Structure 1
Amino acid sequence: MPTLILLRHGQSRWNLENRFTGWVDVDLTPQGEAEAAKGGELIKAAGVQIDRAYTSVLTRAIRTLWLALGASGQTFVPEVKDWRLNERHYGGLTGLNKADTAEKYGDEQVKIWRRSYDTPPPPLAHGGEFDFSKDRRYAGAVLPDTESLKTTLDRVRPYWEGEIAPHLKAGETLLVAAHGNSLRAIVKLLFDVADDAIVGVEIPTGNPLLIELTDQLKPVSARYLDESRAQPLPTAA
């Protein structure tokens, strides 16, 4: 039976500082490292044998993957890194403190940028501190300058369909260690969650979401391995 584990990265340094992170490459905090390792321990305790692993090109997700694989005793599995599993691009909000941003633009406007399905923040200015166009991780790619959850899903979908889904259809067990919004996009695809409902789906950090699938990749069962930190699972549209 195809099996998918979704693992949101542990707490990052900018999570702790309450800043919009997006594509900025910040590391985990000690708490984030502990969350990632705990995720791996839970995978081991559940007896899940991983065939292949995926992550973004951002350090906090990569190190979460490594720590989880290490704690589960499965560092040997093949892993693939791809920018299309990156966090949502927060555009002109990148690097800003969330509380300060709310004071400047108003709580309602910031809530729309953060939680609406298809309204992106203002675009990121070219040539500034957080211009990613010169980063060799993205050489040859056409990069966004801001994203909503909808356009994040538009970026994730082709990678899901072309790279990840075929391995699941072959019966493999996959681990995807990524970010709140890229994982939310995968959840929307799998569970066919309505646009207005997906923005309310929360995926806790460092808590593996184990999803068993049919051969057609329809969810049969889904559960968080740490029940004490579980969030409500999505329902189909």
Structure 2
Amino acid sequence: MTIRVVVADDQELVRSGFAMILDAQPDIEVVAEAGDGAAAVDAVRRLGPEVALLDIRMPGTDGIEACRTINAETGCRTVMLTTFDSDEYVYEALHAGASGFLLKDVRRDDLVHAVRVVAAGDSLLAPSVARRLIEEYTSRPVASAVGPSARLDILTAREHETLLHLARGLSNAEIAAALVVSEHTVKTHVGNVLSKLGLRDRIQAVICAYECGVVTPSAAGQAPPSPPHR
């Protein structure tokens, strides 16, 4: 199946560069380029692509508003592009429904990989963007009627361990190796975690893990503690 993509960025050279890289792939087709968010939304409505690559900062309708509209009105998934990993708009983009975040200096192979991952229904964060997102999210007060421990009590021990590995940024293959199970089993565990906790994707699962205090930014690179036995 060909992945159809809309690329939106107000800088023509950047936009054309991304489009050229993606169009060179046998399974990806750039169906439209846009210079602002309004044009991107219009292209998505007309052409029905699988993925929209959106610069966060654009004149007029910015990438965040375009992302919000696209996610509300279509089945197209969105990947946000930021210039700096300290971009304060990353938090808002998460809540607008973005499925991926990349820095504009992303490597060619990582850009292509991100589009394929998001088109397949998964989510993706550049590591530096993930750190910024986590810091921003966990610095804000959380209004929830359910305490962190109570929220995670519905997970089995294996699902809890899977959540911890997700918080460390491990892929399905890496989680499978850590748990000594198949990738298919990992996909089942991840699906159960998302369903039980009412989360949209892996990005929200990572945020949930930090929000609930089961892992902290300073411990993200360490081996996760053992999950509670059930």
TM above 0.5, yes or no, is: no
Q: So what's the TM-score if we normalise by structure 1?
A: 0.30
Question: Which is helix-richer, 1 or 2?
Answer: 2
Q: So what's the TM-score if we normalise by structure 2?
A: 0.31
Higher relative contact order (CA 8 A, sep 6+): 1
